[in-house]
Amino acid sequence: MDLKSGYPYWAIKNGLMHAFPQLQEDTRCDVVVIGAGITGALIADELAIHGHDVVVLDQRDVAWGSTSASTALLQYEIDTHMVDLAETYGEESAVLAYRSCANAIDMLADKASSLKKVAFSRMQSLYYASNKRHRKDLRREFELRTRHGFDVTWLNAIEVKETYGFDAPCAILSTKAARVDPYQLAYGLLGRIERNGARIHDRSPVARILANARGVEVHTTHGAVVKAKYLVMAAGYESQRFLDQRVAQNRSSYAFVTDPIDAQTLGALTGTMMWESARPYLYLRTTSDNRLLIGGDDDSIDIPAKRDALVDRKARKLAAKLSKLFPEIPLEPTFAWGGTFAETKDGLPWFGAHQQHGPRVLFAMAYGGNGITYSMLGAGLLRATIERRNHPLSNLFGFGRLDRR
């Protein structure tokens, strides 16, 4: 798949940080991970540091797929409101999903602190009502989160204006959120586990997968074979092609980054990411060098050439929309890009075995607006599966919930 177009900021900022060798000969391991983006990196790291012999394969250079186009807003808030998840799966499951994502922010902070130069920092998250009609829904959401102990504050229109300088009917301010450079994080994790014995191979496309009750064989297009006890399919939005069952809808999203902006001009935005209640939603955050990263205007396009042709127009549209909120901030797009993403009907990811491939092939489909947060949780979930332990998210994030909806 052609996963991105335009000029993704992380790839331009960081370049190709390290070349890992192609797989040229047969090998064996405990777990082979297909996909060397941020999802594969977090899973491989989780497995390797807990004693599993890991091989990672990617058809591209490391992090050169969707990771390089990620906007990397780390939030516990997901695209589906907690109140809506509660209506579908029950309040206990909805709270579990949100609380787990909140814990994942802290887990990612620990990962980042053990590495160098991944541009991680804590932030707040401001979820604002796009119009007055959404006030009631946000209030219900706020009350449910408050009832279950989430650290949130209700802001009325005056408080939004006074603190952030734009007009909105109301907003929910969450204290737990963060930002990171996902490209650097993926390279940092994979480089570390390689130094400790894991084997990372980029530019090694997979031609065939054979699985049975005892293990898996992965054949690359170069003729090498990896034999493993388990396979983790962490190939991002390309993982869908390995399933006959459609479990997500591919869409396109767009983003741009500005030149660095004076911190005084940014004001409260320096430490607060923002997103709105409209769907698709506008969102923004700052980078470590005080650029604004703005994204949104998602559409249903799943044809790369059409997506490519829209990048500049979408960037201008996003800039115009944000300028209405913050007319004093310079919003000229410096780097703009578009990318494929996938969303599930309920906003939750898919982690675990699917009946089509049996228990030795595990999928890591961190789909939706919380891809990195989901991947952090999925890493522990899949390790528990491989170690034959129960995990509290196995049912909620697993393919079994297809029968519960």
Listing DSSP states for 253-300 in one string gives EEEEE-----HHHHGGGGGEEEEESSSS--EEEE-TTS-EEEEEEEE-
- Residue 48 in tokens: 């390797």
- Tell me, yes or no, whether 210 and 306 share the same domain: no
- Tell me, yes or no, whether 266 and 366 share the same domain: no
Taking each helix axis from N to C end, the angle separating 371-386 and 91-113, rounded to the nearest 10 degrees, works out to 90
- Residue 348 in tokens: 């939750």
Q: Residue 105: inside a domain, yes or no?
A: no
pLDDT at 113: 96
Spatial CB neighbours of 180, under 8 Å, sequence gap ≥ 6: 72, 74, 108, 112, 118, 119, 120, 372
- Tell me, yes or no, whether 260 and 371 share the same domain: no
- Tell me, yes or no, whether 255 and 320 share the same domain: yes
- Tell me, yes or no, whether 271 and 359 share the same domain: no
CB atoms within 10 A of CB 397: 25
pLDDT at 382: 98
Q: Residue 59: inside a domain, yes or no?
A: yes
β-strand 27-34 against 73-75: which pairing, if any? Answer: unpaired
For 358-389, give one letter per residue: b (16+ CB within 10 A) or e. Answer: eebbbbbbbbbbbbbbbbbbbbbbbbebbeee
pLDDT at 2: 46
Q: Residue 52: inside a domain, yes or no?
A: yes
- Residue 357 in tokens: 């491939």
- Is the bond preceding residue 330 a cis peptide, omega within 30 degrees? no
Which parts of the chain register pLDDT below 50?
A: 2-4
- Tell me, yes or no, whether 313 and 227 share the same domain: no
Q: Residue 140: inside a domain, yes or no?
A: yes
Please answer whether residues 302 and 251 qualify as being in contact, where contact means their C-beta atoms are separated by less than 8 angstroms: yes
Cα 309 to Cα 222, 293, 295, 388: the distances in Å are 34, 20, 17, 47
Please tell me the total count of domains within the chain.
Answer: 2
- Tell me, yes or no, whether 150 and 269 share the same domain: yes
Q: Give strand pairing partners of 256.
A: 294, 336
**What DSSP character marks residue 20?**
P
Q: Residue 216: inside a domain, yes or no?
A: yes
Distance CA 254, CA 115 (A): 29
CATH code for the domain in which residue 38 is found = 3.50.50.60
- Residue 74 in tokens: 């780390």
- Tell me, yes or no, whether 335 and 394 share the same domain: no
Q: Which amino acid is at 186?
A: A
Residue 392: exposure state from Cβ atoms within 10 A (0-12, 13-18, ≥19): middle
Q: Residue 86: inside a domain, yes or no?
A: no
- Tell me, yes or no, whether 299 and 172 share the same domain: yes
Place of tokens 């923002």: 274
Residue 108: exposure state from Cβ atoms within 10 A (0-12, 13-18, ≥19): buried
- Tell me, yes or no, whether 229 and 297 share the same domain: no
Of 178, 180, 181, whose CA–CA distance to 10 is shortest? 181
Distance CA 149, CA 274 (A): 22
- Tell me, yes or no, whether 232 and 328 share the same domain: no
- Tell me, yes or no, whether 256 and 327 share the same domain: yes
**Domain around 385:** 4-69+183-247+347-403
pLDDT at 6: 66
Q: Residue 101: inside a domain, yes or no?
A: no
- Residue 332 in tokens: 């000229």
Q: Residue 117: inside a domain, yes or no?
A: no
Does this model's pTM top 0.85? My answer is yes
Please answer whether residues 62 and 128 qualify as being in contact, where contact means their C-beta atoms are separated by less than 8 angstroms: no
Residue finishing a domain among 343, 368, 384: 343
Give the 3-state secondary structure of residue 393.
coil
